[in-house]
Amino acid sequence: MSKAKLEYDSLPYPTVVVVGGGFAGLEIIQGLNGKPYKVLLLDKQNHHCFQPLLYQVATASLSADSIAHPFRRTIAPMANVAFRMCTVQRVDPPAKLIHTDRGDVPYDILIIATGSTTNFFGNHRMEQEAMQLKSISQALDIRSDFLQDFEAALYAQDEAGQRRCLNFIIVGAGPTGVEMAGALAEIRRTVLKREYRELDSDRMQIWLVDSNERVLKSFSEKSSAHALGYLESMGVNVKLGARVASYDGEVVNFQDGSTMEANTLLWAAGVKGVLIPGLEAGEVPKANRYGVDRFNQINGLPDVYALGDVALMSEGQWERGHPQVAPAAIQQAQLLVKNVIRKSKGEAMTPFTYTDKGSMATIGRYKAVVDAGNLHFGGLIAWLGWMFVHLMALVGYRNRLQVLMGWAWKYMSWKNTIRLIIRPYVRRTVQQAVEVPESA
């Protein structure tokens, strides 16, 4: 048994268990590093994923390891922090016990930072058929899917078959949907046109669908208008005020009775918190989040806290909760670290107040929008600002350097270089019309 393990196990401190290694979870363990607590991080993955750049992995601009950072590399220098890879199955608050697939874990303080997952709003068939973008594995599935569609289009017997392979529908015109649509439009203009010369690149159609009346609804009207102009200039078909009723893997049905054929539909129309059985007393069912007080403690559950996407706190202008974005999660985690220490000393805790630092989204090369207070602008400056903020927010210097080099090559060469079908994506219900033998 290693000396490090002996030292951790023998620490005479209260045990703080953090479930989830996203932005909030990492902020907690970094804040409690070196403090008189024994901290245990639980996550079903062994790495932190920088979700704002997942769409670039999905569209072959970045490699998966560019936006992932191993938890053990982060906690290696932290003597009072440990990590266990497991799936949390249930929490027993009265016993202060967490049940996992690898055994039971006791706690003195429990912090839930499980983040969010895709919200299909009860449409189970859509959940089975549509693609989603919340993890690296899903991003790699999307990458393989659109590359396979390009290859399959070459074998299609008629124009209708080609168009079905090259029709990409993105449901949800928030930042994820807008960024995906812009990235696919650039792929059509560069990769498809240059490297698939047998295909008519105009047959590739990108549809961005939303039930709202404008894209980026959470942004200012000025930024929303800028984003719409950028998308349309890149040839993206924007369909607003349209609600998707169903999708069977081949045909999209809208509530107004219209239909559209497509092999690929990406669902980016909403998120919901990842809840854990046993904490039902604090759930707000309609919001799919835990109700928390101004100190992030889950209502009715002493010593159990929730942060970020999974926490619903009413505060000031945020009566329906804070936006489910990284800055809110990080700010809550930073204050919770201070409050936990204050509480242990018998001092009064400080209530949380969210500071909105603005929003930004990129649509394509030299095209981005930024809302920062009363400033609303787009174009090259916004694009450079978006790149700088996201680059500096990455965990680890290696990741920053790798992303910077990847971007430099992409934007200087106009090429998305990571177009490898390493792990082919197999649809659940729709089979390729023509299968290429492995010997081909």
Q: Residues 107, 59: contact at Cβ < 8 Å? A: no
Q: Clarify whether 186 is annotated catalytic.
A: no
CA dist., res. 131 & res. 143, Å (int): 11
Burial of 420 (0-12, 13-18, 19+ CB in 10 A): exposed
Between the CA of residue 344 and those of 35, 108, 338, what are the distances in Å? Answer: 11, 12, 10
Query: Tokens 């992409």 belong to which residue?
Result: 410
Closest CA to 341 of 79, 82, 35, 80: 35
| Phi-psi sector, 20: left (phi>0), alpha (psi -120 to 50), beta | left
Task: Determine the straight-line distance between the first and last CA of the chain, rounded to whole angstroms.
Answer: 51
Task: Out of 27, 129, 179, 186, pick the active-site residue.
Answer: 179
CA dist., res. 367 & res. 425, Å (int): 31
CA dist., res. 216 & res. 225, Å (int): 9
CA dist., res. 132 & res. 177, Å (int): 10
Q: Residues 270, 152: contact at Cβ < 8 Å? A: no
The residues assigned a catalytic role are: 179
